[in-house]
Amino acid sequence: MDATGVKLKLFRTIAIALPQALVLLDLGARFDLLFGFNRTDCGFTSLLFLFVLAPLVDLSWLLAEIIAAIRLAKRHHRGMSFVMPGLALAVLLESVAVGIFLLSQAKMYRETVLPDKEPEAHPLFAVVEGN
C-alpha cells in the first residue's frame, strides 16, 4: 500500500470517529460521567468544535472518496464502485443527524423548565462561569 492509501485510511478513521465522539460527549454529560468537564468553558468549546468539525471532515471525506473512486475507475477502465462513497455519505448523514438531535435536545430542555423559574441549562450545554 502506498502513502496515499495510508493517509486515506487514517482520514477515514478520523472521519468515522468524530461523530461518535460527539455522541459520547452527549451521553457522558447526561449520565454525569465526565466529572464536571461538560460544565466548564473547555467542555463547551469542545462541544462546539466537534459540532462544527465533524460534518466538515465528513464532507471532505465524501469528496475524497468520490475522487478516489473516479480515478480508480478510469485507471482500470471499469464501472465506479459506490461502496466507500456510500459509506462516507452515510457517516455524513449521521453527523448531520447527531447535530440536529443535539440542537433539538438543547431547545427542548429549555422549554421544559417552568416559566417562572430561572431556566437551567442542559447538562451538555451548562457552562459554569470562571472555569
* Three-state secondary structure call for residue 42: helix
Confidence of residue 64 (pLDDT cuts 50, 70, 90): very high
**pLDDT(52) > 80:** yes
Give me the pLDDT at residue 42, please: 78
Q: What is the pTM of this model?
A: 0.74
Q: Domain-by-domain residue ranges, the chain?
A: 3-111
Which distant-in-sequence residues (6+ apart) come within 8 Å of 40 by Cβ?
127, 128, 131
Q: How far apart are CA 29 and CA 49, in angstroms?
A: 16
Mean pLDDT (whole number) for 89-98: 94
Give me the pLDDT at residue 104, please: 81
Burial bucket for residue 26 (CB in 10 Å: 0-12, 13-18, 19+): buried
The 10 Å Cβ neighbour count of residue 119 is: 12
Q: What percent of the chain has pLDDT over 90?
A: 32
